[in-house]
Amino acid sequence: MLALRRASAFSVLILTAFLPLPQFAQDPAMVHYIYQRFQVLEQGLQKCTQATREYIQDFREFSKNISVMLGRCQTYTSEYKSAVHNLALRVERAQREIDYLEYLREAEVCTESEDKMLAEKQVQGAEEEKRIRTLLNASCDNMLMGIKSLKIVKKTMDTVGSWMKDAVRDSPKVYLLIGSRNNTVWEFASIRAFMEDSTKPAPRKLILTHSWQGTGQVIYKGFLFFHSQGTPNEIIKYNLQKRTVEDRMLLLGGAGRALAYPHSPSTYIDLAVDELGLWAIHSGPSIHGHLVLTKIEPDTLGVEHSWDTPCRSQDAEASFLLCGVLYVVYSSGGLSPHRITCVYDPLGAVIEENLPTVFFPRRSRSHSMIHYNPRDKQLYAWNDGNQIIYKLQTKRKQPLQ
C-alpha cells in the first residue's frame, strides 16, 4: 500500500512537470522556470526509484514467507495423509469385524426367519385350502364317467353358434344365439317350440345394446353373460327383461390374448355354469399355454379365485364344468374322435388317472360350444349347425381326506 501511495504522488509530479510552457522560451525567467520543473521531475524519479526498491524488498520478504508456509503445508499434508491412511486401515479392520458379527447374527435371524416364514406359509396354505373348500362346498358330488346318448334337437344353416336354457331358474325357455359375433337373441317358449318352427307362439327377438364375441355365452338367473365384442377381456352381465347392461367386469390373468380353443376360432373367453355357480375359462398368456379357470361371483362380478390348470389349450375345442370339475374336450380335427383327455379338480377329489377316457359320438366337425346345464344334468352342444343334447353317465366322487 505504501508503494502505491508513492507511485500516485510521483504521477502527480509528472503531470505537473509537463504542463504547457509559456510561449516566450528565450525569456530568462522562462528558462529558470523550466529548470525548476526539471528539478521537480528528477526528485520525483528519485522517489519513484526508492518506492520501487522498497516494493521489491517487501515482495521478496512476502515470497520468502509464502515459501516457508508452503513447506509447512506440505509437511502437514504428508502427516494428514499418513493419519488418514492409518485411520482407514483401522476402520476397514473394524468393518470386517462388524461384518463378521453381523453375519453371525443374520445367520441366526435367517434361520429363525425361514422357520417363521415356512410356518406362515403353511398356515396361509391351510387357510387358502380351507377357503377354497368352503368356496367349492356343495351337495353335488358327481363326476363324469361317460356319454350315454346323443340327441339332435334341431339343425340350422349356421355352423357356429350357441343355445341354452337358464342354468338355475325352472324355466322352459330356450335361447338361440346364432354366429360368433351378433347382438340378436331368439327366445323360444319351450324346447318343443324350438324344435318345431311352425309351433306357436313365434320366438321373441331380443336385440341387445352390445354385441357378443365367441360362443361362450351363458344364461344364469335371467341374466345373459357374454364376452363383449371388440374388447379383449370385458364380460357383460345383461338383463334380458329390461334389455340393459346390469354390470360389467374386466377378466385379468391374460384373458383375451389368445384363443381359448384353437378349434373354436372366435372364442377367447368361455363362460360356464355348474352346481357351484359361474365360471370363466381362457387361455394363459404364453404361446400354446394352458387353460386358466376363474370362479366369478355372479351378483357382483367379483373374482373369487383363479387356478392355472394343467390342461393345455392346444387341440382343445370346448370345455365345461360339472360339480366344480373342469372337463376339456380335444380333437385333431376332421373325423377324429372328440374325447376328454384332461380333467382338473381344484379340490383334488377327481384324479384324471382314475377316470376313463370319455369319447363323444363321432361327428364330422368340431363343436363350437359344449355347455353343462346343472338343472337338467345335460350337455348342450353345437356341432356343424346341429343343436345337440348329450345325456351323461356319472358316479359319486371319492370323499376328500
Adjacent-strand bridge partners of 65: none
The per-residue pLDDT for 320 is: 98
The per-residue pLDDT for 294 is: 96
377: left (phi over 0), alpha (psi -120 to 50) or beta: left
CB 312 within 8 A of CB 288: yes
Gyration radius from the chain CA atoms: 49
| Nearest residue to 225 via CA among 319, 299, 291 | 299
The full length of the chain comes to 401
The per-residue pLDDT for 158 is: 92
CB 277 within 8 A of CB 296: yes
**Strand 244-250 versus strand 269-274 pairing type:** unpaired
- CATH 2.120.10 is held by the domain 140-396: yes
Cα separation, 341 vs 193, whole angstroms: 36
The per-residue pLDDT for 7 is: 46
CB 188 within 8 A of CB 174: yes
Residue stretches of the chain with pLDDT short of 70 = 1-26, 107-113, 122-131, 133-135, 137-139, 198-199, 287-288, 333-335, 399-401
CB-side neighbour CA atoms (13 Å) of 210: 22
The per-residue pLDDT for 2 is: 45
